[in-house]
Structure 1
Amino acid sequence: MEKYTANKDRYEKMQYRRCGKSGILLPLLSLGLWHNFGDNDDFDNARKILRTAFDNGITHFDLANNYGPPYGSAEKNFGKIFNEDFKQYRDELLISTKAGWDMWPGPYGNFGSRKYLIASLDQSLKRMGLDYVDIFYHHRPDPDTPLEETMRALDQIVRSGKALYVGISQYSSKDTARAAEILENQGTPFLVHQPRYNMMDRWVENGLLNTLEQQGIGSIVFSPLEQGILTSKYLNGIPKDSRAATKGSYLDESQITPEVVKQVQELNKIAESRDQSLAQMAVAWLLKDERVTSVLVGVSKVSQLEDNIAALNNLKFSEAELQQIEVILTKELER
């Protein structure tokens, strides 16, 4: 593949939003490397996706220690692409990684201990060939490790220069507030929370978004398309080549009920009236709330990324549209 030079107009193509009360602006879309960057995936395709993202002003690339498969391979492959294509742009990029889920065997390769978090980040930096990451997350709450230990490990990581900011993912409103208190007392920059949020999974509306606003913390939301349900893929049921039809997937056939298909069809009608695809409307719907700093998208091909970027052309909703969407999402539709 030819030598990469970034599009000189890239920052004119993207909109940015302040992350809480920090000095950081995040692009309205960030690129997640959960899928499609492992050793079993097409390396050149992954490279094209990353190039297209940056060429369109997407400055934030989001990873985790166990993204792949196999575990660690997304970071390793990203590191190769970074070294060849993006090293000269390091100061224009926000690169994040995480630890909290299972990564290696034994009692020290999972959850939220100081030993696990610090060791995992050291491994991640080696795989990616980086001196530091911009954001390091605790990937999920740990019911057994004291929150103070986990937050103090994040504090130590920042003070060591291995991360500039820290974040958490999937924490409840209550635990988020407590984490913020601990980090504030240590003087550690708590930048962002990464929760799951989409039209069909709205748990963050029950207090978390308010807590983030009160604490001055940004949010970057993942799974905006509900594992593909909020796309045109399931408008007529379950295609044989879809994720829902694949064994071992995070999405299974039992989730695509007749009621869900009906909901998706009704939502799609509203999207069409907005000259958007359903996926584009789902992304725009999340960004209507200023407390959502950025939407984390994962794509398997460049055209999907370009479709997501085009969602930013129409982020405004009329009150009538919002009311229609709410009716579809909250009331059982007739079959």
Structure 2
Amino acid sequence: MEYELVSPRPDSNRPYVAAENRYENFGYRRVGDSGLVLPPLSLGLWWNFGDNRAFDTQREVLRHAFDHGINHFDLANNYGPPAGSAEENFGRMMRKDFMPYRNELVISSKAGYDMWAGPFGSFGSRKYLLASAEASLQAMNLDYVDIFYSHRYDPKTPLEETIGALDTLVRQGKAIYVGISSYSAERTAQAKAIADELGTPLVIHQPSYNILNPWVEHGLLATLQKEDMGAIAFTPLAQGLLTDKYLNGTDVQRQGGRRSLDAQLTEENLDKIHKLNDIALRRGQSLAQMSLAWLLREGAATSVLIGASSTKQLDENLGALKNVEFTETELNEIASIAQGDAGIDWWKTSAIS
């Protein structure tokens, strides 16, 4: 991967005090039938919190998020870049800023993608998941995470072993709840049955999900509802395709190790986002705001993972919460525009395995 390293700026000595009205911004949503609740928008630390961003900028975004009611921060062992740096940077912020608020926070991590060399540095073996969880806790200066995920289904490891490892983390006190990500509907039902037999709180699924990639609506959402599990959507803006970035042209800006949208910037997809933008404007929203609101409509996602590189971008996303109601006409129009394969489900192989 190619990216420009930015040297972290020194920590500010000014102590952080969270805004007193931080819980007045919006209502929180229950995850399935569990006791866990999440904000409608959660902050993902996938790309903007590695060593490619100034540390003080990262810190400003996290503080701003928490001040505005976003108390869920989502990480994984391989987040960066480079891999692992997001958890390390968050660990610095945890120690400096957020430790007094630990009981208010929902912090999640995952393991499943490539992290270190050898046969135990990826996928879903017991050895990998337990070792990764321990490394993540050390990096983040935590005794436990609130949610630990199996980041992807492992076709070569028995599902009983993978879910059993999650069960061990709960019994060790290193995770309160557990989840899965990018599992098919069938595998989700199987994982939940195993977890229920073990008595493990498998309560949430993290799928890729957006207007142009609504695959979860063809079986997975129904399974989650049947199993009393919640859904938290990642890639809600299709890595920038569902923003105003490409409304006035297709000049692609490379973003290092992130997936390029070159192949997705087809005439058909560009036509779709222009038509979707017209609906958003009629609703008094930007395309990004409508796309986030669409995921939060009744019967869809419990929470949506947003990424933000600045407080301005974060505020733009928070603006989506001003209108999450859709008329039947709007929903039908969006569905008619978005039908067909936009070619942006990069996690499809994992989900159907």
The TM-score normalised by the length of structure 1 is: 0.96
Structure 2 Cα separation of the partners of residues 94 and 161 of structure 1: 15
Supply the AA of the counterpart residue of 2:163: M
Structure 2 Cα separation of the partners of residues 187 and 270 of structure 1: 45
1:226 to 238, 249, 258: 238
Match of 1:162? 174
Supply the AA of the counterpart residue of 1:193: H
Is the aligned partner of 1:293 residue 2:332? Answer: no
Match of 1:130? 142
Moved more, 212-221 or 321-330: 321-330
What's the secondary structure of 1:309's corresponding residue? helix
Structure 2 Cα separation of the partners of residues 246 and 156 of structure 1: 38
CA contact (8 A) 1:36 1:42 kept: no
Q: Cα–Cα, structure 1 residues 117 and 331, in superposed 2: closer, same or farther, change >3 Å?
A: closer
Match of 1:9? 21
Structure 2 Cα separation of the partners of residues 158 and 289 of structure 1: 31
Structure 2 Cα separation of the partners of residues 8 and 288 of structure 1: 28
Structure 2 Cα separation of the partners of residues 14 and 305 of structure 1: 15
Is the aligned partner of 1:171 residue 2:171? Answer: no
Is the aligned partner of 1:262 residue 2:271? Answer: yes
Is the aligned partner of 1:276 residue 2:288? Answer: no
Structure 1 Cα separation of the partners of residues 59 and 236 of structure 2: 23
Q: How does 1:136-147 map to 2 (within 5 A)?
A: 136-147=148-159
Q: Cα–Cα, structure 1 residues 19 and 246, in superposed 2: closer, same or farther, change >3 Å?
A: closer
List per-residue Cα deviations over 1:220-265 (Å, max 9, x = no partner): 010000010000000122235x3xx456431331210111111111
Deviation at 1:31, TM superposition (A): 0.3
Q: How does 1:76-95 map to 2 (within 5 A)?
A: 76-95=88-107
Supply the AA of the counterpart residue of 2:269: V
CA contact (8 A) 1:138 1:168 kept: yes
Structure 1 Cα separation of the partners of residues 144 and 256 of structure 2: 37
2:118 to 106, 111, 117: 106
Deviation at 1:167, TM superposition (A): 0.2
Match of 1:303? 312
Q: Cα–Cα, structure 1 residues 321 and 51, in superposed 2: closer, same or farther, change >3 Å?
A: same
Structure 1 Cα separation of the partners of residues 102 and 251 of structure 2: 41
Is the aligned partner of 1:330 residue 2:330? Answer: no
What's the secondary structure of 1:10's corresponding residue? coil
Moved more, 295-304 or 164-173: 295-304
Structure 2 Cα separation of the partners of residues 248 and 42 of structure 1: 18
2:61 to 49, 57, 66: 49
Deviation at 1:330, TM superposition (A): 2.1
Structure 2 Cα separation of the partners of residues 129 and 249 of structure 1: 27
Supply the AA of the counterpart residue of 1:49: V
Across the aligned residues of Structure 1 and Structure 2, the Cα RMSD in angstroms comes to 1.3
1:321 to 304, 323, 330: 330
Deviation at 1:331, TM superposition (A): 7.0
Deviation at 1:123, TM superposition (A): 0.4
Structure 1 Cα separation of the partners of residues 258 and 38 of structure 2: 30
Match of 2:45? 33
Structure 1 gap ranges (5+): none
Supply the AA of the counterpart residue of 1:322: L
What's the secondary structure of 1:137's corresponding residue? strand
Structure 2 Cα separation of the partners of residues 126 and 37 of structure 1: 17
Supply the AA of the counterpart residue of 1:262: D
Match of 2:258? 249
Supply the AA of the counterpart residue of 1:3: P
Is the aligned partner of 1:182 residue 2:194? Answer: yes
Structure 2 Cα separation of the partners of residues 86 and 197 of structure 1: 30
Structure 2 Cα separation of the partners of residues 257 and 270 of structure 1: 20
What's the secondary structure of 1:12's corresponding residue? coil
Structure 2 gap ranges (5+): 1-11, 342-353
Match of 2:32? 20
Moved more, 156-165 or 250-259: 250-259
CA contact (8 A) 1:155 1:183 kept: yes
Supply the AA of the counterpart residue of 1:54: F
Structure 2 Cα separation of the partners of residues 249 and 224 of structure 1: 15
